[in-house]
């Protein structure tokens, strides 16, 4: 190769290796985190089975909280990636929440149907403590609206019941993870709704404003009942039959007033 050709060759090679000019001197201030929601679940399986399913099955979550005495926190998927925990889901008009959420699974058998009705398994105190530790850690790293700490049943009310009526929503809300309506305000609103019960259209419109995906049919259809039931399971776990009543309306109204 002649000297000048060799020079040209190396110049081209250097050009290729460098690639286009990249200028990093204009960083934008307009962005936010991929992580907008934290979705909580129970696994309805043992710890061993849960670990197997969440690492080698068709599903996953960023974290799994065990039911061992220390309630070990297993980190299964890096937070920068999507875990597959939410499935078809919707909250506040956002769909398919795997893309925008972190998923936390908790080892808990769920429920058992017995002759005297459905029996739910409680979470252990150690599990609640581990969950709170994890939520504090997550909240220190992302700016997540407190209303966006939600359950699988909130975002997929027609398919899912986890994390169930024994999930400690009130305790979590006291620490800023989720919201909880103040009882005196609920009592005040209930007195009002006792006198003039709202229409089904009202329930559908207001639950939609709270984030739930609910038909706007004006009738108490099966889907509407299921969504009302999911709301009740979260905010009034004593009775979640999906039947609209003054207390349910009062809970909705107080939550809307808190926004
Ligand atoms: Zn779930």
With a pLDDT cut of 70, the percent of the chain lying above it is 93
Which amino acids are annotated catalytic?
105
Q: Ligand 1 mean position to 163 CA, how many Å? A: 7
Mean pLDDT of 170-184: 98
**What was the pLDDT predicted at 13?**
52
Q: Read out DSSP for 155-206?
A: HSTTT--TT-TTS-HHHHHHTTSS----HHHHHHHHHHHHHSPPPHHHHHHH
Mean pLDDT taken over the chain:
94
**What was the pLDDT predicted at 55?**
97
| Domains in the chain, CATH or no CATH each | 37-174 (3.40.80.10), 183-257 (1.10.101.10)
pLDDT tens profile 40-58: 999 999 999 999 999 999 9
> How many CA atoms lie within 13 Å of 196's alpha carbon, on the beta-carbon side?
2
**What was the pLDDT predicted at 8?**
53
User: Which band of pLDDT confidence, cut at 50, 70 and 90, is reported for residue 10?
Assistant: low
Q: Ligand 1 mean position to 161 CA, how many Å? A: 8
* CA atoms of 227 and 247, how far apart (whole Å): 16
Q: Ligand 1 mean position to 167 CA, how many Å? A: 13
Question: Which residues, in sequence order, are bridge partners of residue 115?
Answer: none
Decide: residue 139, CB within 10 A, 0-12 exposed, 13-18 middle, 19+ buried. middle
| Helix (H) or strand (E) segment spanning residue 256 | helix 246-257
Residue 135 has pLDDT above 70, yes or no: yes
User: Which band of pLDDT confidence, cut at 50, 70 and 90, is reported for residue 93?
Assistant: very high
Q: Ligand 1 mean position to 61 CA, how many Å? A: 9
- Dihedral angle sign, alpha carbons of residues 69, 75, 76, 82: positive
Q: What angle in degrees, to the nearest 10, is found between the helix axes of 222-235 and 246-257?
A: 70
pLDDT tens profile 187-233: 999 999 999 999 999 999 999 999 999 999 999 999 999 999 999 99
**What was the pLDDT predicted at 259?**
87
Residue 11 has pLDDT above 70, yes or no: no
Q: Ligand 1 mean position to 64 CA, how many Å? A: 12
């Amino acid at each position: 190769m002649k000297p000048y050709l060799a020079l040209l060759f190396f110049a081209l090679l250097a050009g290729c290796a460098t690639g286009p000019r990249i200028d990093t001197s204009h960083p934008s201030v307009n962005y936010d985190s991929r992580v907008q929601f934290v979705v909580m679940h129970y696994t309805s399986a043992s710890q061993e089975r849960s670990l197997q399913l969440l690492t080698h099955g068709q599903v996953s979550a960023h974290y799994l909280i065990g039911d061992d005495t220390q309630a070990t926190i297993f980190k299964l998927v890096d937070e920068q990636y999507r875990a597959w925990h939410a499935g078809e889901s919707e909250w506040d008009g956002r769909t398919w929440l795997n893309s925008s959420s972190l998923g936390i699974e908790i080892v808990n058998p769920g429920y058992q149907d017995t002759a005297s009705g459905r029996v739910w398994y409680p979470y252990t105190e150690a599990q609640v403590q581990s969950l709170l530790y994890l939520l504090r850690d997550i909240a220190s790293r992302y700016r997540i609206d407190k209303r966006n700490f939600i359950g699988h049943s909130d975002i997929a009310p027609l398919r899912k019941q986890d994390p169930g009526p024994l999930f400690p929503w009130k305790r979590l809300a006291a620490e800023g993870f989720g919201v909880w309506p103040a009882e005196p305000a609920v009592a005040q609103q209930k007195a009002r709704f006792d006198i003039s019960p709202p229409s089904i259209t009202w329930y559908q419109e207001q639950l939609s404003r709270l984030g739930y995906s609910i038909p706007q049919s004006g009738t108490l259809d099966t889907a509407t009942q299921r969504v009302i039931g999911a709301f009740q399971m979260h905010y009034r776990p004593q009775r979640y039959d999906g039947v609209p009543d003054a207390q349910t309306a009062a809970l909705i109204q107080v939550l809307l007033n808190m926004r």
